[in-house]
Amino acid sequence: MSLLVVGSIAYDGIETPHGKRERTLGGAGTYIALSASYFTKTSVVAIVGDDFAGEDRAVLESKGVDLGGLEQVPGKTFFWSAVYSDDMNERTTVRTDLNVFANFQPKLPPAYATQPYLFLGNIQPDLQRGVQQQMKSVRFVGGDTMNYWIRETRDDLLATIRGWDFLLINDSEARMLSGEHNLRRAAGKILDMGPNTLVIKRGEYGAMLFRRDTFFIVPGYLLEDVFDPTGAGDCFAGGFVGYLAERDFDLRNGHFNVQELHRAVIYGSVMGSFCCEQFGVERFRTLTREEIDQRFEEFRRFTAF
Amino acid sequence: MSLLVVGSIAYDGIETPHGKRERTLGGAGTYIALSASYFTKTSVVAIVGDDFAGEDRAVLESKGVDLGGLEQVPGKTFFWSAVYSDDMNERTTVRTDLNVFANFQPKLPPAYATQPYLFLGNIQPDLQRGVQQQMKSVRFVGGDTMNYWIRETRDDLLATIRGWDFLLINDSEARMLSGEHNLRRAAGKILDMGPNTLVIKRGEYGAMLFRRDTFFIVPGYLLEDVFDPTGAGDCFAGGFVGYLAERDFDLRNGHFNVQELHRAVIYGSVMGSFCCEQFGVERFRTLTREEIDQRFEEFRRFTAF
């Protein structure tokens, strides 16, 4: 079943101990869509400036991503740059130029309103809610957020996630949102806010999925070389929701096996790990579904006992 | 099969956000032996002062730990105290009074020389090697070390671990010993130093086991309340080696299944998690093997996909 992704398409400047890119295709929407495209038909609603290059559009189109909802307007595309520490566990943001993204008002082409799967990338919570309200028959909806919205627009955020099936955030965001340091307690509080499924990303340490009555934990994949962690969390999101869309996983009608949610976390982890192997979105030029399924099986091998 | 543990028996002063103990039974040898005692007959070689209380001896004896190698000499028992940060991810050592432990020269009762399983807790590498040399028919030997020995007595440490089947250390020690930040690369270098099995403890993030051709990763158990992490790594060690001794796991003769090593890592993780549930060794007053096996099965449930 098809998936609609709403999120940023951007240019990134990235410096890691392995090298530097002055300006390369990035943005959460880009990573989520590229990752999800390996599993299901994916459409994107986003905004770019008139500097957005045809070759970057082609990167998305080469994976079959539908760009009918990509608005191009006068001005510059969102630009973000950062430098990673030597161990890559910290990064310092150098620039955040929102440019045309500052006035992003997601507009859904009419055909998109009947998409069954919806992932709302990290944008203002009221815009996320506005998109969801335009959808007519969504089966599975959720998304991401960040510390800024948790702190500055908490009420809006709570009103938004109340209508979600799943929330996918990192550990520090889960702690901030819940006010609990312990992640098991944090998860309990967040599940009280609306979503019946919570996924917490822990970077190199893996990910966790919580539901009212169960939880699942997977360690991170152990790469020998992390070239560039940019986008890994978004690729996780794309793998997670993309796999569920592929399986036509319908939470609302209760026709599901919790094992499928666990497998979706593994596919998310697999996609996040591939993302780190090269700069920016470069790994997606050659990545195949066969490699993805092989790494899924590798996860089985190194976690089975 | 029986296990011999060499390590410190101490008194600890502990302060965590949940409370404070001025002076409570502790020391790596204590935790390792208590933990291993749930799996196999365990003996300890250690040293204490004349202030060592009968009730603390009784804690170990109540679990069937053989104290024939516990030397009691005039003077004070090793004392260590620390304060944990609010999130318990950091601790500050307040006092380290080696006392009688400063002159510890492990003396093995003759009967101990034929023990088949040997765990050498974190003491000077040359003392560890000396104990191993007194053993006549050891089947499975390994142990722990710490940053101090890696930095100050590196050559001695390398000579010691060259003769070990397994090394069990934490992630920062693995990085320091190998000079590699990436744990997969670090593991490769450490396996070149002698041990054919390396276990890396990652605290709340779980543990990893590396061999030349395979690796295994398990996430940490998710406790709702961590009362006191003191001794968790040593309880992990006791569960790991205790389970292998129980299974009569013979690495040298090659009669083993790698799955047993993975299960040993899970039992280690289980024992480490129980240790954190109460102050010091208090959890061991009530802990049963049945609870341990139940938590082992719980690990299966929350990691299966």
CA of A264: which chain B residue's CA is closest?
Answer: B305
- pLDDT tens-digit readout, B159-218: 999 999 999 999 999 999 999 999 999 999 999 999 999 999 999 999 999 999 999 999
CA B174 to chain A, closest CA, distance in angstroms equals 15
Q: Which residues of B touch A224 (CB under 8 A)?
A: 182, 184-185
- Provide mean pLDDT across the span B238-260: 84
Asked if A222 and B216 come within 8 Å (Cβ–Cβ), the reply is no
Q: Per-residue confidence at B254, pLDDT binned at 50, 70, 90?
A: low
Q: Which chain B residues have any C-beta within 8 angstroms of a chain A C-beta?
A: 86-87, 181-185, 202, 205-206, 208, 214-220, 222-226, 259, 262-263, 265-266, 299-305
Q: Counting Cβ atoms within 10 Å, is residue A119 exposed (0-12), middle (13-18) or buried (19+)?
A: buried
Q: Pick from B85, B46, B48, B44: which is nearest to B64 by CA?
A: B44
Q: Which residues of A touch B87 (CB under 8 A)?
A: 181
- Provide mean pLDDT across the span A264-268: 98
CB A42 within 8 A of CB A55: no
Q: Per-residue confidence at B253, pLDDT binned at 50, 70, 90?
A: low
- Provide mean pLDDT across the span A254-270: 89
- pLDDT tens-digit readout, A207-252: 999 999 999 999 999 998 899 999 999 999 999 999 999 998 776 6
Asked if A224 and B182 come within 8 Å (Cβ–Cβ), the reply is yes
Structure tokens at A17: 């101990």
SS3 helix, strand, coil % of chain B, rounded to 5? 40, 25, 35
- pLDDT tens-digit readout, B123-159: 999 999 999 999 998 999 999 999 999 999 999 999 9
What whole-number percentage of chain A has pLDDT above 90?
Answer: 92
Ramachandran category for residue B206: left, alpha or beta (phi over 0 → left; psi -120 to 50 → alpha): left
CA of B184: which chain A residue's CA is closest?
Answer: A224
Q: What is the pLDDT of residue A252?
A: 67
What whole-number percentage of chain B has pLDDT above 90?
Answer: 92
* Residue B30 scores a pLDDT above 70: yes
Of B202, B216, B225, the CB nearest to A302: B216
Asked if B182 and A226 come within 8 Å (Cβ–Cβ), the reply is yes
CA B211 to chain A, closest CA, distance in angstroms equals 12
* Residue A254 scores a pLDDT above 80: no
Q: What is the pLDDT of residue A88?
A: 84
Using CA atoms, how far apart are residues B42 and B55, in angstroms rounded to an integer?
A: 19
Q: Which residues of A touch B223 (CB under 8 A)?
A: 182, 184
Of B226, B259, B302, the CB nearest to A216: B302
Q: What is the pLDDT of residue A257?
A: 83
What whole-number percentage of chain B has pLDDT above 70?
Answer: 98
Q: What is the pLDDT of residue B87?
A: 82
Q: What is the pLDDT of residue A255?
A: 61
Of A182, A217, A226, the CB nearest to B219: A217
Asked if B183 and A222 come within 8 Å (Cβ–Cβ), the reply is yes
Asked if A305 and B266 come within 8 Å (Cβ–Cβ), the reply is yes
B224 vs B191, higher pLDDT: B191
Rounded to two decimals, the ipTM of the complex is: 0.91
Ramachandran category for residue B167: left, alpha or beta (phi over 0 → left; psi -120 to 50 → alpha): beta
What whole-number percentage of chain A has pLDDT above 70?
Answer: 98
- pLDDT tens-digit readout, A13-46: 999 999 999 999 999 999 999 999 999 999 999 9
Please count the other Cβ atoms lying within 10 Å of the Cβ belonging to residue B188. Answer: 16
The CA-atom distances, in angstroms, between B230 and each of A217, B146, B203 are: 24, 15, 11
CA A260 to chain B, closest CA, distance in angstroms equals 8
CA A136 to chain B, closest CA, distance in angstroms equals 33
Q: Which residues of A touch B206 (CB under 8 A)?
A: 205, 219
Q: What is the pLDDT of residue A86?
A: 87
